[in-house]
Amino acid sequence: MNAWLAQHGAAMASAFRRLWSTPLNSLLSLLVIGIALTLPGFGYVLLDNLRDLGRNASGVQQISLFMNLDASKKDVGDIEGKLRATATGKWRFVPKEEALKRMQKSEGMAEIVASLPRNPLPDAFVIEPSNTEPESLEILRKEISGWPKVAHVQLDSAWVKRFDAFLKLGKLALWMLAGIFAAGLVAVTFNTIRLQVMAQAAEIEVARMIGATDSFIRRPFYYFGALQGALGGLLAAGLVLGALRLLAGPVGDLASLYGGSFSLHAPGPLEIAALASAGAVLGWLGAQLSVSLSLRKFD
Amino acid sequence: MIVASNLTKRYPGGYEAVKEASFEISAGQMVFITGHSGAGKTTLVKLLATIERPTSGSLVVNGQNLAALRRSAIPYVRRNFGLVFQDQKLLFDRSALDNVLLPLQIAGLPRRNAIRRAQAALDKVGLLAREKARPIALSGGEQQRLAIARAVVNRPTILLADEPTGNLDSESATEILEIFADFHRVGVTVVVATHDQNFIERYRPTVLRLDHGRLL
């Protein structure tokens, strides 16, 4: 157990030394890996922010319920009871008198409203469901439509559906992008490790002759690949954070022009760790492939 | 300790470097393998060190038949041997001490312990004062002594050398052979391949004489 730990410690230390001993090469490899991971990383953060934007945008996931014109106060009370029973979130009752008053306030509408013989507007409810998944919104809309004295239920679901489809497409594109860049990362590590194996041919040959096992020879390369990948991942996280910081001001300005307040949220420690781990796993994989191929000629 | 019977090594292309060699080396013996160049000395050493595999026949070392060894077992068998090559195979990117440390790192010894043993090995070959020197800064004789320190640091039961004095002047060569004789005196089995007749008279070892791959 002690020997095992000592050997892993030594392999890790040797990986660090190799990274340090060729600073320029290491820096270039890290840049390539970092940039390769930045694009999918940035795409992920962007989609995450868009999803939040969609979730927070007010008025998007509202259901408007219009009563029949002949609905009585009792009917309205029934609906209110049903809404309370289904407990779908917040709702607000808009009496027809209030709706008419609001309409009168609108520019150019006052005269038209005044000329009407009676109030043409129905009582209405504006519902903000707590569950905003497009599917469940649709189910809720259908259910409400079936209630007595309900004339019309309106859900701006087309918009929600479109947005959702867009996010799904974005996610798919992101995965494809991530796959391509992951392959790139593996290839970069493969090549770095291949060059290292060639540079250390003498050491490998001697070590083999004096009784080194395969894993003793391979281990430092695996650690090197994983270390390089992890550092590349951290670099990518740094680049993403930097880009978000640069974008934060303009995005805030843009949001305030549209009368909203929206701020980009940056990846958290967990996401940064995930990026570094992804880099480490891919680096390890590249090293494994490379060492297996490169060491064949030593047999 | 080492028993070879009908040991044959045929290289691709049909050349037989060692032909049906049978011999026995007992523990603590000092054995010289001699013969003209191309007689098969190096091949025999490589067979013993499991660097080459026999084509036919058997070669038993410490009760293990090297001809029927699984690939994964080879590293552990090699650790029984201290190997000294004619071209030393030192690593020039590290100090003398680090060269000697390599077998101990392979064996997984804790570093502090390993350094103490490596220094003892360097002391034994008279190189302790040069532990920080790179091999390139050492003379030919010193390089060969460094190679011996690396071979013995793991306390092998068999010391195996292929033309260890091949590139040295006679004074350095004598030093090297003296070191081998010292190890022989403390009970290590020493097998040396050499074409140098002078030493055979001095140490009176058991001699395996090869001629075109055949033992005489």
CA dist list (Å): B33 to B166, B182, B183, B199, B216 = 14, 19, 17, 12, 11
CA neighbor of A155 nearest in space, from A175, A133, A184, A176: A133
Looking at residues A287-294, what average pLDDT do you find? 93
Residues A151 and A202 placed together within one structural domain of the fold? no
What per-residue confidence (pLDDT) applies to B54? 92
A299 pLDDT above the threshold of 80: no
| DSSP code at position A123 | P
Residue A209 to residue B89, Cβ atoms within 8 A: yes
Separation CA B187–CA B173 (nearest Å):
22
Contacts of B151 in chain A (CB under 8 A): 210
What per-residue confidence (pLDDT) applies to A59? 47
Separation CA A97–CA A120 (nearest Å):
10
Residues A214 and A240 placed together within one structural domain of the fold? yes
Contacts of A209 in chain B (CB under 8 A): 49, 51, 78, 83, 89
Residues A98 and A191 placed together within one structural domain of the fold? no
Separation CA B117–CA B102 (nearest Å):
12
What per-residue confidence (pLDDT) applies to A222? 95
Burial class of residue A97, CB neighbours in 10 A (0-12, 13-18, 19+): exposed
Phi-psi region of A37 (alpha: psi -120 to 50; beta: other; left: phi over 0): alpha
Separation CA B29–CA B189 (nearest Å):
5
Shortest distance, CA A29 to any CA of chain B (angstroms): 23
Residues A131 and A234 placed together within one structural domain of the fold? no
Residues A50 and A76 placed together within one structural domain of the fold? no
Shortest distance, CA B14 to any CA of chain A (angstroms): 20
A186 pLDDT above the threshold of 50: yes
Give the least confident one: A136-150, B23-37, B172-186: A136-150
B118 pLDDT above the threshold of 70: yes
Statement: the pTM of the whole predicted model exceeds 0.80: no
A272 pLDDT above the threshold of 90: yes
More confident residue, A69 or B94: B94
The answer to whether B118 touches B100, Cβ cutoff 8 Å, is yes
The answer to whether A285 touches A247, Cβ cutoff 8 Å, is no
Out of A155, A181, A204, a domain closes at A155
A135 pLDDT above the threshold of 50: yes
Residues A180 and A283 placed together within one structural domain of the fold? yes
Separation CA B105–CA B15 (nearest Å):
38
Q: Does A87 touch chain B (CB under 8 A)?
A: no
Least CB-CB distance to A211: which of B79, B109, B110? B79
Residue type at B130? R
Best to test chain A binding among B78, B89, B106 (most A CBs inside 10 Å): B106
Q: Give the B window 30-49 contacts with A, CB below 8 Å.
A: 49
Residue-wise pLDDT for A42-66, tens only, equals 998 888 888 877 766 544 567 888 8
Looking at residues B95-99, what average pLDDT do you find? 95
Out of A155, A174, A192, a domain closes at A155
What per-residue confidence (pLDDT) applies to A60? 55
- Comparing alpha-carbon positions, the chain B residue that sits nearest to A216 is B106
Mean pLDDT of chain A: 85
Separation CA A111–CA B110 (nearest Å):
95
Looking at residues A88-106, what average pLDDT do you find? 80
Instruction: Count A/B contacts: CB-CB distance under 8 Å.
Output: 60
CA neighbor of B127 nearest in space, from B97, B155, B153, B156: B97
What per-residue confidence (pLDDT) applies to A55? 67
Residue B108 to residue A3, Cβ atoms within 8 A: yes
User: Which residues are bridge partners to A59 per DSSP?
Assistant: none
Out of A104, A120, A155, a domain closes at A155
Separation CA B160–CA B41 (nearest Å):
12
Domain that holds residue B91: 2-215
What per-residue confidence (pLDDT) applies to A100? 82
Residues A9 and A145 placed together within one structural domain of the fold? no
Residues A214 and A197 placed together within one structural domain of the fold? yes
Looking at residues B133-161, what average pLDDT do you find? 93
Q: For residue A63, how far is the Cα from the chain centroid?
A: 27
The answer to whether A29 touches A228, Cβ cutoff 8 Å, is yes
CA dist list (Å): A117 to A42, A73, A112, A165, A194 = 59, 22, 10, 46, 88
Domains identified in chain A, total number: 2
Residues A142 and A285 placed together within one structural domain of the fold? no
* CATH code where residue B27 lies: 3.40.50.300
Domain that holds residue A125: 63-155
What per-residue confidence (pLDDT) applies to A58? 46
Residues A171 and A277 placed together within one structural domain of the fold? yes
* CATH code where residue A80 lies: 3.30.70.3040
A158 pLDDT above the threshold of 70: no
CA neighbor of A124 nearest in space, from A70, A76, A74: A76
Separation CA B54–CA B6 (nearest Å):
10
In percent, how much of chain A has pLDDT > 70? 93
Residue A205 to residue B89, Cβ atoms within 8 A: yes
Residues A17 and A31 placed together within one structural domain of the fold? yes
What per-residue confidence (pLDDT) applies to A87? 64
For A114, the token pair is 């005044």
Domains identified in chain B, total number: 1
Separation CA A31–CA B93 (nearest Å):
28
Residues A92 and A230 placed together within one structural domain of the fold? no
Neighbour order of strands in the sheet with B2-10: B16-25, B2-10, B56-61, B64-65
